[in-house]
Amino acid sequence: HVLDTALGRPAEGVLVTLQKAALGSPGPGTAGVWETVAQQRTNTDGRVPGLMPPSLTLPQGRYRVVFGTDDYMSSCRALHPGVWPPETFYPTAAVVFNCTADQVHEHFHIPLTWNPYGYSTYRGS
């Protein structure tokens, strides 16, 4: 779920990629090799309802959600010339999280509140 806090509305068309850290991949952060699990663009409500069907569960491991904000920023710039900065400061926003053995059947909702110069995330419900 992506919310554009600059415009005060959901961010439509943001490419959201869910990745899993490859086995044996080094480092606790974003270093290492990532395998794409799923990818989808946000809908008019800023959501990606089909990214992971409810029938699927995430195996235990380290994951990363990458929000491709660069294309979204370009579309905003085209709609509102002069209002948006000429260059994208955050071309992506990446959130790394762990799925432990006792969480594999849980729902993961990781919203992103975004604007041209900042973003925030949290574990939603």
Helix (H, G, I), strand (E, B) or coil at 23: coil
pTM: 0.87
The helix (run of H) or strand (run of E) holding residue 61 is strand 61-68
Return the structure tokens found at 92: 């992506």
pLDDT in tens, the chain (125 residues): 999 998 899 999 999 999 999 876 655 555 678 999 999 999 999 999 888 766 677 888 999 999 999 999 999 888 888 878 888 889 999 999 998 888 877 778 899 999 999 999 998 87
Q: Is 89 helix (H, G, I), strand (E, B) or coil?
A: coil
Give the Cα separation of 8 and 6 in Å (integer): 6
